[in-house]
Amino acid sequence: MVAVIRDHILAAQSRQKSYAHQRRRPLEFRVMEYVLLKVSPMKEVQQFGRQEKLDSGYIGPFRIIEHIGAILYRLDLLASMSSIHDVFHVSILNKHLCDEEQQQVLDALEFEVHDDLTTIEIHVCILAN
C-alpha cells in the first residue's frame, strides 16, 4: 500500500512540475539595459484615495551596471536611494521597453524608497487651472 501511495505522490509531483516549467520563462538582462524595480506600498500608511487596480508597482527605469552571478544585477540607483543596497534579484526586475527611435529614457521621478523597498504614495488632485 505504501508503494502505491508513493507512486501516486511522485506522479502528482511530476505533473505539477511539468505545469510549472511550461509557464516559466528565463529572465536575463544585459549590462547597460534599463530595467524597472518592483516596490510594494506600505500597508501601515493610509493613502488618500484608492490604489488603482492597474498601478504598475514598479519604479525606474534604472540602468544595469553589472551582472553578478546567474541571477543578481547591480543597478545604477538615484542619489536619493543611496541607503538601499544596489544589488537585486532578477525576480524583482522587469525589462523597460523604450522607444527604439528616440533611444532615450526619461528621467525617473524622485522617489522616497525605504530600506525594505517600500514607498509611500500620496495622491494629488488639481482643483483649478
Could you report the per-residue pLDDT of 59-83, keeping only the tens digit for each?
888 999 999 988 899 999 888 888 8
What percent of the chain has a predicted confidence (pLDDT) above 70?
A: 68
Amino acid at the residue 55:
D
For the chain, give every domain's residue range: 27-119
Cα→Cα distances 88→61, 69, 76, 124, Å: 14, 11, 11, 31
Which of these ranges, 6-15, 29-38, 43-52, has the smallest mean pLDDT? 43-52
Question: Hey, which bits of the chain come out as E strands?
Answer: 34-38, 40-41, 58-68, 72-76, 87-89, 93-95, 118-119
Model pTM greater than 0.85?
Answer: no
